[in-house]
Structure 1
Amino acid sequence: MKPFAYVRATTLQEATAAHAGRPGSRYLAGGTNLVDLMKLGVERPATLVDLARLPLSGIEELPDGTLRIGGTARNSDTAAHPLVRARHPVLAQALLAGASAQLRNVATTGGNLLQRTRCPYFQDVSTACNKREPGSGCAARDAVHRDHAVLGHSAHCIATHPSDLAVALVALDADIELYGGQGTRTVPAASFHRLPGEQPEQDTVLQHGEIVTAVLVPPAPGALSLYRKARERASYAFALASVAAVLESGPDGRVVRRVALAFGGLAHRPWRATTAEARLTGAEPTAEAVREAVEAELAQARPLRDNAYKVALARNLACDVLAALARQAQDGPPRTP
């Protein structure tokens, strides 16, 4: 076991100062991913700065209707929160689709967004991985890669991002609130994670020492939302493909006023389907129109030898989710007896 120092921070300022003053530091919240990577030898921090006691676990409604979810809010608490369930069901559904109840009781908002890929070559220190060791190569490209990316990958990395929460936040047009040495800033959820390019070791736009203090979910009155995930087994598995969708229709539910669509399991980051959204906005969401819009989006896919099935899987998931939301919009709210 590699020894490490431990700092229990009580304020944001104390946490960032401890991180900056100790080379090789990592922030620790729930630890459900970091501790596993330490056991595997992928992560070897010199210091762990514990954020668990910072006052960042609250979930509250701001005056403008925005929902502010703290960076250390437990995934189980967020999924069960009445405002989340009532206003943004896609968010609760995404959280409940991830991991087990025991892990959700420990995992945090920030930790979920910052979890590393589950690519087996990243987790195996005996194999080449540009994400783990830049310049070493990508063993996955010529090995087994049926679970890997079909969108936005590069010659340097074909890994996918594992978060369900992140996919829902992208579809909800959420912002990520960050705190660091330069103060507080916000980044759109759709821009928070990176495509691999030539620097696959950089998962996000997070600057050195920054902490995820909250996610900000804007109000979406009248919008319907849904999350659906395909995986190898019924539960406790990462997505082969997933879809988060938000739909707002006209009074009769026949015309799409606004639609947001995001894919998970297909790329190095949640994939916002802007091409499909543009085609569907202002149109009637017929089965044909939805399929054509989704296929136009997935025309960008570059499947590898073993994972072409993901394109059809993602298309069918998206079509089913959008069809379900369109039916719900046309049926209107349930009648009370």
Structure 2
Amino acid sequence: MINFQYLRTTSAKSAIALLLKDKNAKFLAGGTNLIDLMKRGVTAPEKLIDINHVPLKQIEQIGNKIHIGALATNTAVADHALIKEKLPLLSWALQAGASAQLRNVATVGGNMMQRTRCGYFYDTEMPCNKRQPGTGCGAMEGFNRMHAIFGTSEKCIAVHPSDMCVALTALDAEVVLANGKGERKIAFKDFHRLAGDTPQLDNNLKADEMIIRVEIPVNNLAKNYHYLKVRDRASYAFALVSVAAAFELNNNKITDIRLAMGGVAHKPWRLTASENFLKGKEATLSNFEKAAGLAMTGAKGFGENNFKLKLAPNTIIEALNLAKSKA
């Protein structure tokens, strides 16, 4: 790990001002991913700006939206009464991620900014277009059991590791970003990027911007929901495939629905075609199976991860069944 300068700030305005002075600076919150990357030599910021004292930890309802500050910890969000009551899918997804110790310090903004856990990305001796553009993708012909089956490119087949982000994508959240001139909002589903020709760019956050909060519309999806995470061991493991499912039932008919997947793409993968198919239909196994089949359009395996082509639709079906069973 190289020597670096450490600074602390207490306002978003001053944090952004410090960031603008040094293009190699990084914000430090929980540090649960950033410090690992620094130790491994994957990233080497010359300046760390500690933002833990910036007042961005609110969890509150304003109008018809729930606001969650970028520095609210994963534990605080998952355990908050408002989230459990109105956005239980988010609470479940957060509790499925990492250990309790990590959730106690990891933040919402940091969770959004975490980088892939691809072994080739972390090993500085191996080729990786995400870490060093132009060097190639070691996973393409290498060990790719954990890798993507949707939205891949010849440059990168890594997956996004977050559970929280899958739920926020499903729940139509928005991200509020700020720079020195003001704030802007983008849909959460548009915050992260597919790899394309620029896999080194994980998201659409600009170099002079800071995540301020996420806003999630209140919905009627708090009764029939489930977050299903399939992994190699029961805890502290990243998803092979995960599914966030929530829908509203009226006489067994689905009147509204949200579906998203994790562990299958460079970003959380929203299942819009499956949602459109299921809306207005009976919540039956047959319809769930058809929706899962639609979800697999365009899926492609790379050898060791071919099992995901079967695991993914089965996980969708199971998540939908488990959500229905809460009726």
Scaled by the length of structure 2, the TM-score of the pair is 0.97
Report what 1:314 is aligned to.
312
Equivalent position SS for 1:321: helix
Equivalent position SS for 1:279: helix
Report what 1:209 is aligned to.
208
Report what 1:138 is aligned to.
137
Report what 2:299 is aligned to.
301
Q: CA deviation at 1:222?
A: 5.3
> Are residues 1:95 and 2:103 paired?
no
Equivalent position SS for 1:141: coil
Residues 116-167 of structure 1: CA deviation (Å, up to 9, x unaligned): 0000000011011000011111011111101000000100000000000000
Report what 2:261 is aligned to.
263
Identify unmatched segments of 5+ residues in structure 2. none
Report what 1:332 is aligned to.
none
What CA distance in whole angstroms lies between the structure 1 residues aligned with 2:238 and 2:313?
18
Equivalent position SS for 1:13: helix
Equivalent position SS for 2:325: helix
Report what 1:335 is aligned to.
none
Residues 278-300 of structure 1: CA deviation (Å, up to 9, x unaligned): 11111112111111111111122
Equivalent position SS for 2:116: coil
Q: CA deviation at 1:209?
A: 2.4
Report what 1:227 is aligned to.
227
Report what 1:333 is aligned to.
none
Q: Which amino acid is the alignment partner of residue 241 of structure 2?
A: A
Contact kept, 8 Å, 1:84 with 1:92, in 2: the verdict is yes
Q: Which amino acid is the alignment partner of residue 22 of structure 2?
A: R
> Are residues 1:126 and 2:125 paired?
yes
What CA distance in whole angstroms lies between the structure 2 residues aligned with 1:192 and 1:151?
17
What CA distance in whole angstroms lies between the structure 1 residues aligned with 2:326 and 2:235?
26
Contact kept, 8 Å, 1:60 with 1:67, in 2: the verdict is yes
Q: Which amino acid is the alignment partner of residue 134 of structure 1?
A: P
What CA distance in whole angstroms lies between the structure 1 residues aligned with 2:87 and 2:173?
11
What CA distance in whole angstroms lies between the structure 2 residues aligned with 1:236 and 1:153?
26
Scaled by the length of structure 1, the TM-score of the pair is 0.95
Q: CA deviation at 1:310?
A: 1.0
Report what 2:196 is aligned to.
197
Report what 2:13 is aligned to.
13
Residues 160-211 of structure 1: CA deviation (Å, up to 9, x unaligned): 0000000000111111111113311111111111000000001001111211
Q: CA deviation at 1:225?
A: 2.1
Contact kept, 8 Å, 1:154 with 1:196, in 2: the verdict is yes
What CA distance in whole angstroms lies between the structure 2 residues aligned with 1:270 and 1:123?
21
Report what 1:38 is aligned to.
38
Shifted more, 48-57 versus 304-313: the winner is: 304-313
Report what 1:153 is aligned to.
152
Contact kept, 8 Å, 2:127 with 2:138, in 1: the verdict is yes
Percent identity for Structure 1 against Structure 2: 44
What CA distance in whole angstroms lies between the structure 2 residues aligned with 1:257 and 1:180?
39
What CA distance in whole angstroms lies between the structure 2 residues aligned with 1:222 and 1:125?
44
Report what 2:240 is aligned to.
240
Report what 2:58 is aligned to.
58
Matches within 5 A, 1:161-180: 161-180=160-179
What CA distance in whole angstroms lies between the structure 1 residues aligned with 2:309 and 2:269?
13
Report what 1:334 is aligned to.
none
What CA distance in whole angstroms lies between the structure 1 residues aligned with 2:172 and 2:87?
12
Report what 1:324 is aligned to.
322
Q: Which amino acid is the alignment partner of residue 205 of structure 1?
A: N
List structure 1 runs of 4+ shifted beyond 3 angstroms: none
Identify unmatched segments of 5+ residues in structure 1. 330-337
Alignment: residue pair count: 326
Q: Sort the Cα spacing of 1:50 and 1:257 in 2 relative to 1 into closer, same or farther, 3 A.
A: same
Q: CA deviation at 1:9?
A: 1.2
Q: CA deviation at 1:308?
A: 1.2
Report what 2:281 is aligned to.
283
Residues 25-72 of structure 1: CA deviation (Å, up to 9, x unaligned): 11111000000000000010011111111000111111x231111100
What CA distance in whole angstroms lies between the structure 2 residues aligned with 1:317 and 1:72?
32
What CA distance in whole angstroms lies between the structure 1 residues aligned with 2:219 and 2:58?
21
Contact kept, 8 Å, 2:172 with 2:188, in 1: the verdict is yes
What CA distance in whole angstroms lies between the structure 1 residues aligned with 2:87 and 2:175?
16
